[in-house]
Amino acid sequence: MTGYDKRRHTAISSLPALPHALFLLHNFYGVEVGAMAGELGADSEIINACLADARAIVRAHVCYTDTMPGIRSATAALQARLQRDYRQSIATAFAESGYPGDIVWPDPIADIAADQEAAASFLVAQLPSALHKAALRLRRTGVATVDQWRVVGPWHRRRRGRLLRVNDALRCAGWQPFDEWLAERLVSDDRYPHGYADFRRRRRLLPEERPTMAAEADGGAIADTVQVPVRLLDQSELTQQVWVLFHHYGRSYEEIARRLGIGRADVERRRARADYAISGADYPSLASRLRFNLMVKRLSLEWRWEIIRSAIYG
């Protein structure tokens, strides 16, 4: 990456939330101005004003301009309206996922990043205490990148696993950064920002967690129908329950293990066995799984050594 490209990347990253998202979607994902305006219920001139603000800020960063432009009133007004919609969407998703209480939003409305942090903090506070420290580490500069390394000491592997569990809980609850939430409204095939469709599980209320309905109060029964794939019917009932709790109700390995009275490793193994059965493939033997894990570790070590060698010797 050249010095000019680095300055441009830094400039785009420093854009305010709404101009940043619209700039990326328009310039890198091909979303037209008219389509943005129609989906957001705004005039095309407002969208063009947002993009013009973004271009002006990027140009000022790249050209080292003394005066740094800001966003104009039209952009600020649209951003404030979308920020209120974002708050409502996150609160609704958390309620549907079964998390009690209300999010304490910053008042008055200011930075969208503060709203993202408030929503994440609300959910993290309801997770097991072992994950609280991992969530705090996630906010430190550089830690998330380091802890994603697979071949490191056992303590780093534990940290990485906890970070992934926090991320999984956030995603299952419906939490999204503002730009991804906005992109879902503008990009129908859900290929932002990674360029490929992202499978997501959503946490749902179990039958015993749902509020009592009028029919149930009168003695009626409410059916909770879960469609189990035909290929999964040959597996044990416990394996089917693990699959239903994981994929249909969006529950974590730890919660499934507590409910079914089995170990976390057993939950993970049964979930993998169910996925193999649904795909029509044979579940690999222990020997083949060990060979595969050793091969992955060897390739990962070789890849990391190449990075270190190139950094040292150029």
Residue range 192-221, pLDDT digits in tens: 877 766 677 899 998 888 876 654 555 555
Examine the pLDDT at 242 and tell me if it is beyond 80: yes
Whole-number average pLDDT of the chain: 83
Lowest mean pLDDT among 48-62, 122-136, 190-204: 190-204
Q: Out of 3.30.70, 2.60.40, 1.10.10, 1.10.3470, which CATH number does the structure's domain 228-283 have?
A: 1.10.10
- The model carries a pTM of 0.80
Q: 5-14, 193-202, 269-278, 285-294 — which one is most confidently predicted on average?
A: 269-278
Lowest mean pLDDT among 14-28, 180-194, 264-278: 180-194
Give the Cα separation of 180 and 21 in Å (integer): 8
pLDDT band at 7 (very low <50, low <70, confident <90, very high): confident
pLDDT band at 104 (very low <50, low <70, confident <90, very high): very high
Give the Cα separation of 228 and 171 in Å (integer): 23
pLDDT band at 141 (very low <50, low <70, confident <90, very high): very low
Examine the pLDDT at 253 and tell me if it is beyond 80: yes
Percent of the chain exceeding pLDDT 70 equals 86
